[in-house]
C-alpha cells in the first residue's frame, strides 16, 4: 500500500466495485463533470464498469483510496494515459460523497505523485479539471502542481460547455513527504 498522510492507495478489491459504481458512477451529474466521455447506463457487475477489476496495464494504474487508520473505502485514484516513452501520465481522483471536504484530496494527489515519480519513474504528471472544481485545484496546488493554462469551453458538461484548467508537475519539482 502507498501511504500519504491520512490515506492509503491499494489495488481495487471486488468489494470496492459496487460501492464505487453506486456512489461515483451512478451520480450522473458528478460523473459527467469528472469524465469527458458521455455517461451511459452500466449494469451492476458489468465488465464495462470503469471500476471493474482488470489485469495490470502499462497505460493505466487504478487504485482504491482508503482513509486510515480505519481503512474505509474513500474513493478511487488513477494514473491514466501513461506514456512510457515520454514518461508522462494524467492524474485523476474521485472521492465518495461522505469523504469529500475532509482534506483527503491533497494526500491522494501526493500518493499518486509518489507512485508516478518514485515507482514508475515518470518525469511529468498532468491534471485536467473543470475551472470551477476548486477543491481539486486547491489539492493539486498544495501538492506542488502549477496551473499551466485554461482550455476555454473545452468540456461538454451536462448540457453546457465549460472551461478546463491544466495543471502540471515535473519530477524535479516534486518534494516527497516524509
Structural domains in the chain (count): 1
For residue 41, tell me if it sits in a domain: yes
Judged against a pLDDT cut of 80, whether residue 32 lies above it is answered with yes
From 126, 171, 116, 115, select the one nearest 149 (Cα to Cα).
126
Grid coordinates belonging to 104: 483527503
For residue 178, tell me if it sits in a domain: no
- pLDDT tens digit string along 115-161? 999 999 999 999 999 999 999 999 999 999 999 999 999 999 999 99
For residue 43, tell me if it sits in a domain: yes
For residue 52, tell me if it sits in a domain: yes
Domain that holds residue 16: 2-173
Grid coordinates belonging to 152: 476555454
For residue 132, tell me if it sits in a domain: yes
* Residue 152: CATH number of its domain: 3.40.630.30
Q: What is the pTM of this model?
A: 0.95
- pLDDT tens digit string along 17-29? 999 999 999 999 9
| Residue 10: DSSP 8-state | E
Amino acid at each position: 500500500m502507498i501511504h500519504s498522510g491520512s490515506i492509503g492507495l491499494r489495488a481495487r478489491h471486488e468489494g470496492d466495485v459496487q460501492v464505487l459504481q453506486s456512489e461515483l458512477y451512478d451520480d450522473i451529474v458528478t460523473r459527467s463533470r469528472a469524465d469527458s466521455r458521455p455517461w451511459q447506463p452500466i449494469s451492476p457487475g458489468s465488465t464495462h464498469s470503469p471500476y471493474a477489476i482488470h489485469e495490470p496495464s502499462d497505460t493505466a494504474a487504478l487504485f482504491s483510496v482508503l482513509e486510515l487508520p480505519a481503512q474505509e473505502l474513500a474513493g478511487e485514484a488513477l494514473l491514466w494515459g501513461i506514456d512510457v516513452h515520454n514518461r508522462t501520465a494524467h492524474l485523476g481522483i474521485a472521492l465518495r460523497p461522505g469523504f469529500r471536504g475532509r482534506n483527503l484530496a491533497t494526500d491522494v494527489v501526493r500518493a499518486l505523485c509518489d507512485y508516478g515519480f518514485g515507482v514508475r519513474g515518470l518525469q511529468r504528471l498532468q491534471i485536467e479539471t473543470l475551472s470551477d472544481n476548486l477543491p481539486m485545484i486547491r489539492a493539486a496546488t498544495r501538492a506542488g502542481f502549477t496551473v499551466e493554462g485554461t482550455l476555454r469551453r473545452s468540456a461538454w458538461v451536462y448540457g453546457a460547455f465549460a472551461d478546463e484548467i491544466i495543471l502540471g508537475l515535473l519530477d524535479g519539482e516534486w518534494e516527497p513527504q516524509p
